[in-house]
Structure 1
Amino acid sequence: MGEDTGGGELPASFEMAWGVRERPTKGPRRGLSLEQIVAAAVRLAAADGLGAVSMSRVAKEVGTSAMALYRYVASKDELLALMGDLAIGEVAFTAGDGGWRVELKRWAWAELNAYGNNPWSLQVPIHGPPVTPHTIAFLEQGLRCMAGTPLTPQDKLSACLTLSSFTRAWAMLGAQLDPEYGTNDRELMQDYERALRSVADREHFPALYEVLDAHSFTPGQGDDLDDDFVFGLDRLMDGFEALMNLRGA
């Protein structure tokens, strides 16, 4: 049971997900639960994409009417939020004692893998800060990764937000890339370099040509998109470390 601070009430479906509100006891189908409804919606999204999820299709999936669903979720937006919560709930992450840097990187990888396993969840609209149970539990673990550091509580929250934003953006990039990327990415990027050279001249784009001449766009042996994620992740860690040094000075 959460601490009652007065006001700030959540939608009834979110309170049911938290376990602080009883599920409806009356309805056309006995035994129907919020968990069954959300799981059915996730199955539809996994099979046919998020656009396939509608109240009527979910109702058909669980064997009831669309109107009956509204006893559990007041709107489709609520249902989508709970679906995203279920996706992040698949992440079995617990902050360990490997040091803040190692643990925060593990946290980011766990979120990236959750998006990879549920690419439809990247299309779930974000209407505000996280309030659903699994997302808050995941945030809790991210904050715990920085326990014992000189960061302030606001620093820790901002670090989690920055890291999660980077991870989500990277997951969206990976989801939108041509499926061929990653299978023969070296050949594709060589074509990309040649295309750039054909339209951009050295005089007007000297900095770009410094990159092209070094073949920086072309991955080396064994390089892939994950290597760029690692690079960005490490640079964020460097920034957090610099802030810690500042706070501890």
Structure 2
Amino acid sequence: MWRLREKPRRGPKPSLTLDDIVAAAIAIADAEGLAAVSMARVAERLGNSTMALYRHLKSKDDLLVIMSDAAIERPEPMPEGVDWRTGLTFWADGVLTAIRRHPWYAKVPISGPPAGPNNLAWFDSALGVLKDTGLPEEAKVGVVMGLITYVQGEIRMAFDLAAGYAENPDAFQRFGSTLRRVADPRVYPAVARTVDAGVFDEVGSFEEDNEADFDFGLQLYLDGVAAFIDRVG
């Protein structure tokens, strides 16, 4: 909870604040990607020495954690009276929207549980939707952590695939025809059946396909949650 580390200081207000540092780092990452962020670059953007940053942060790793928390901001208020499934769908779509504003977010390593006020607010929002399910608190945490794993994994994979598509779209366009040539049914029987069914013949919009895949996987996960609630709740 990075705000808890700030201690009130006596004397004049410092010219550089933690908020200034984080805002400058986010601006660099938005413009040039996460790899461009360094303590030296942030200091240069702020017109300060690198050592001035270390009065507020121990390391670049600390900066990345705080950047990711600041960038995701606070969740939109949950609509009144929604059931748990509608609420978790609203929540997952909100996470997707928030991270799309800062694609570099998907490159920040996940090294622990929610560690900042904004991430904690998202965690609280998802847990709150499950309050009337009858699930024990530990099970609610398990449901939300599973959803976080799905959403984060899908977003990270989608961003990586988007980068690959931008670099070589022909490889994606030719995927179905290539499989048809190489998927020997004696070696890859299940893949061959999928190819024969024409699953990979139709190539649509890359963005639309990602949206459809995300929603399909999300609803499958929520189907499992519904079955779990019926059994345990």
Is 1:118–2:102 an aligned residue pair?
yes
Q: Verify: 1:151 aligned to 2:151, yes or no.
A: no
The corresponding residue for 2:51 is 67
1:94 matched to 2:83: no
Matched, 1:210 2:193: yes
AA partner of residue 139 (structure 1): F
Query: Within the alignment, does 1:196 sit opposite 2:179 as a pair?
Result: yes
The CA deviation string for residues 60-84 of structure 1, in whole angstroms up to 9 with x for no partner, is 1122111111111111111100000
Structure 1 residue 88, shift from structure 2 partner: 1.3
- Residue in 1 that maps onto 2:24: 40
Amino acid in structure 1 at the alignment position of 2:93: W
> AA paired with 1:138?
W
**SS at structure 2 position matched to 1:177:** helix
Specify the code of the residue in structure 2 equivalent to 1:162.
G
SS class of match (2:58): coil
91-100 vs 164-173, which deviates more?
91-100
Task: Indicate conservation of the 8 Å contact 2:75/2:121, yes or no.
Answer: no
Instruction: Quote the offset at 1:188 in angstroms.
Output: 6.3
Asked whether the equivalents of residues 55 and 76 of structure 1 are also in contact (C-alpha less than 8 Å), the reply is yes
Instruction: Report deviation, 1:179.
Output: 5.3
Higher helix share: 2
Deviation at 1:143, TM superposition (A): 0.5
1:217 deviates by 2.6
Distance 2:8 2:194 in 1: 59
- Aligned residue for 2:174, secondary structure, equals helix
Separation in 1, partners of 2:145, 2:214? 17
**1:175 and 2:164 correspond:** no
Pick closer, same or farther for the CA change 1:220–1:196 going to 2, 3 Å: closer
1:110-146 Cα distance to aligned partner (Å, 9 max, x none): 1112221111111112221112111001100011111
1:28-87 deviation digits (Å, cap 9, x = unpaired): x93321111101000011111111111111111122111111111111111100000012
The yes-or-no answer on 1:83 pairing with 2:72 is no
Q: Deviations over 1:192-242 (max 9, x none)?
A: 111112222122222111111112234577752111111100011101001
Q: CA RMSD in A?
A: 2.4
Task: Give unpaired runs (5+ residues) of structure 1.
Answer: 1-9
% identical aligned pairs: 35
Equivalent pair of 1:190/1:218 in contact (CA under 8 Å): no
Deviation at 1:246, TM superposition (A): 0.7
Task: Quote the Cα distance in structure 1 between the aligned partners of 2:133 and 2:183.
Answer: 47
Partner of 1:103: 87
Cα distance in 2 for partners of 1:58, 1:220 equals 42
Confirm or deny: 8 A CA contact 1:122 1:172 kept in the other structure: yes
Which residue in the other structure is 2:39 paired with?
Answer: 55
Q: 1:15 aligned to 4, 8, 21, which one? A: 4
Amino acid at match of 1:109: D
Gaps of 5+ in 2: none
TM-score by length of 1: 0.83
Aligned partner letter, 1:104: L
CA contact (8 A) 2:75 2:125 kept: no
State how far apart, in whole Å, the 1-side matches of 2:115 and 2:88 are.
21
From the superposition, tell whether residues 215 and 99 of structure 1 become closer, same or farther in structure 2 (CA, over 3 Å).
Answer: same
